[in-house]
Amino acid sequence: MTEPLIIAGTTLRSRLFVGSAGYPNQQVLLESLAATGAELVTVAIRRISLEGYAESLIDLLGDKYRILPNTSGCVTARDAILTAELAREALDTNWVKLELIGDRETLYPDVEQLVHAADELVRKGFTVLPYCNDDPVSCQKLADVGCAAVMPLGSLIGSGRGIANPAAIELICSRSPVPVVLDAGIGTASDAAYAMELGCDAVLVNTAIAKSHDPRRMAAAMRAAVEAGHLARLAGRIPERDFAEPSSPQLGLVGS
């Protein structure tokens, strides 16, 4: 009924990508990730504690999932590029979720630096998935420099406000030469389904699962929502009408 998602020649079983941050504990994280059915899990790259090295959670995730390192927190192209290169060395992957933050309060992307860094990373052989603005021009520029997908924000990171500008997301989806992954802002399952109905190829969710009252249940809800939204998109919604349109036959009414 559906076709698998292919990014940069890699086939992904699940159209739900998930973040690994903010879960109440390791057990809940592992069980929630399992419940999402996701194959791609994002991680951050950070300086180690110089107090000594201890096994971390990522040591467990690395064997079960395809790991997508991010450049979260970077505000210059230079730092983002070095972070991507360190991630490639640490995780043996050339995939990177490129984040370049232009404003610490809103975490809005700095498009100018983002395009520059994406261009540079593509030239260095990276498969670049940029977190970007929900505007078709930025997305086109990122595709033009060779990004493997674009990841426009639904609304502010961690805000849970869903898709602030659905018309823009739909426009991006209709024009993008590369897969579109809705990133940031998902608050609950219906937001994820909506993103897919608008034509997104995948959805990335972190906080909405991790910070929900019951992450394992929300993980399962997101999985179902992404599948439902994708199927609904393929099936095609009916046109909206101004007035009622009876679904039962109008002939043979009793008493007429």
Partner 1 sequence: MTRLRINGEEAEVAVTTVAELLALRGIDPKARFLAVAVNGAVVRRAEWPAAPLSPGDAVEIVRPLQGG
Active site residues: 97
Binding of partner 1 by 43 (CB under 8 A): yes
Q: Which is nearer to partner 1, 15 or 88 (CB)?
A: 88
23 binds partner 1 (CB under 8 A): yes
Return the residue of 1, 25, 52, 242 that touches partner 1, per CB under 8 A.
Answer: 52
We find the least distance from the C-beta atom of residue 19 to partner 1, in angstroms, to be 3
Q: Per residue in 200-220, is it b (16+ CB within 10 Å) or e — as a string?
A: bbbbbbbbbbbebeebbebbb
Residue 182 bridge partners (DSSP): 203
Identify which of 69, 85, 67 has the alpha carbon closest to the alpha carbon of residue 77.
85
Question: Is residue 164 within the footprint of partner 1 (CB under 8 A)?
Answer: no
Binding mask 198-227 for partner 1 (x = CB under 8 A): --------xx--------------------
Give the bridge partners for 132, in sequence order: 152
- Which of residues 133 and 207 has its CB atom nearest to partner 1 in the complex? 207
Which of 34, 90, 164, 171 is in the footprint of partner 1 by CB under 8 A?
A: 90
The closest alpha carbon to 176, from 218, 134, 209, belongs to 134
Q: Is 62 one of the binding residues for partner 1 (CB under 8 A)? A: yes
Query: Minimal distance in Å, beta carbon 194 to partner 1?
Result: 20
Sign of CA dihedral 171, 202, 57, 45: negative
Angstrom distances, CA of residue 53 to CA of 50, 72, 88 = 8, 22, 20
Residue whose tokens read 């002939």? 251
| Chain positions contacting partner 1, by CB under 8 A | 19-23, 29, 42-48, 50, 52-53, 56-59, 62, 67, 69-70, 72, 78, 82-83, 85-91, 157-158, 206-207
